[in-house]
Amino acid sequence: MLDALLPAAEAFQEAVHSGPSVSEALRAVAAAAGARATSDMIPRRGRSSYLGVRALGHPDPGAEAVVVWLGATSHIVANLGSS
């Protein structure tokens, strides 16, 4: 999950400093989460580590979950202002 969270945290920090709204910053974070990049990595921790090189070509499930969480969070924050 850290493979997706670290790029997301960096994207959020950059977005907040550039001045968009929180919901826009969260959308940038969800887009920047590094889940796809994990398909090129051999897992070293977690359940995927049991697969070793057989995991190559498949995004890490934990990283994919982070993308879903961030996307849901950005959707909720964006809709808070419209209620």
Q: Where are the domains of the chain?
A: 2-80
pTM of the model: 0.65
More confident residue, 52 or 35: 52
Condensed to tens digits (0 to 9), the pLDDT of residues 47-58 reads: 888 898 998 988
Q: Which helix (H) or strand (E) holds 70?
A: helix 61-80
Instruction: Check whether 20 has a pLDDT greater than 70.
Output: no
Whether residue 16 contacts residue 25, with contact meaning beta carbons closer than 8 Å, is answered with yes
What pLDDT is stored for residue 30 in this prediction? 67
Neighbours of 81 (CB within 10 A): 9
Instruction: Check whether 83 has a pLDDT greater than 60.
Output: no
